A = this chain, B = another copy of it.
Amino acid sequence: MTSNTAPPTASNPTESPALNLSEEQIIGFATQFDPQPYHLDRAAGDASIFGGLCASGWQVAALGTRLIGDALTQQDMNFVSLISVDSLRWRQPTFVDEELRAVTRVEGVEPTCSVPGCQTAVISAEIINQAGDVVAVLSGRAAIDAGGQLP
By a beta-carbon cutoff of 8 Å, the part of chain A in contact with chain B is: 25, 29, 32-34, 36, 49, 56-59, 61-63, 65-66, 80-90, 115-116, 140
Q: Do B90 and A84 touch (CB < 8 A)? A: yes
Q: Helix, strand, loop or mixed for chain A's interface? A: mixed
Specify which chain B residues have a CB less than 8 angstroms from the CB of A59 in the assembled complex.
33, 62
* Contacting residue for A89 out of B29, B58, B84, B88, CB 8 A: B84
Expressed in whole angstroms, the minimum distance between the Cβ of A81 and any Cβ of chain B is 7
Expressed in whole angstroms, the minimum distance between the Cβ of A86 and any Cβ of chain B is 7
Q: Do A58 and B49 touch (CB < 8 A)? A: no
Specify which chain B residues have a CB less than 8 angstroms from the CB of A87 in the assembled complex.
84-86
* Contacting residue for A34 out of B29, B62, B83, CB 8 A: B62
Given A58-B65, A61-B58, A65-B58; A36-B89 close (CB under 8 Å): no
CA gap between A25 and B29 in the complex, in Å: 10
Expressed in whole angstroms, the minimum distance between the Cβ of A121 and any Cβ of chain B is 16
Give me 15 A-to-B residue pairs in the complex whose CB atoms sit less than 8 angstroms apart, sorted by A's number.
A25-B32, A29-B62, A49-B115, A56-B62, A58-B61, A58-B62, A58-B82, A62-B62, A83-B90, A84-B87, A84-B88, A85-B85, A85-B87, A85-B89, A88-B88
Q: Do B115 and A65 touch (CB < 8 A)? A: no
